Amino acid sequence: MITKPIQYIKEAQVEIQKVTWPSRKQSLQYTAIVVIISIASTIILGGLDILFNYILTQFIL
């Protein structure tokens, strides 16, 4: 019973050593990209929401 969890932990440690972690510079670049895309998406979706709200209130309701 105990050998399977121990084996799993050992295999997980081996796999983690194979991972290539990004550098600090890469991490900052990826974070900046995510923030910029999130802000752009928010602006686009907010603009569409305002537009559709305007259309609905002026022409339909």
Read off the DSSP letter of residue 26. Answer: H
Q: Is the Cβ–Cβ distance between 30 and 22 less than 8 Å?
A: yes
pTM score, two decimals? Answer: 0.66
pLDDT of residue 29: 98
Nearest-angstrom CA–CA distance, 46 and 50: 6
pLDDT digits (tens, 9 = 90+) for 1-56: 678 899 999 999 999 999 999 999 999 999 999 999 999 999 999 999 999 999 99
Read off the DSSP letter of residue 32. Answer: H
- Between 60 and 53, name the one with better pLDDT: 53
Q: Could you list the beta-strand ranges (E) of the chain.
A: none
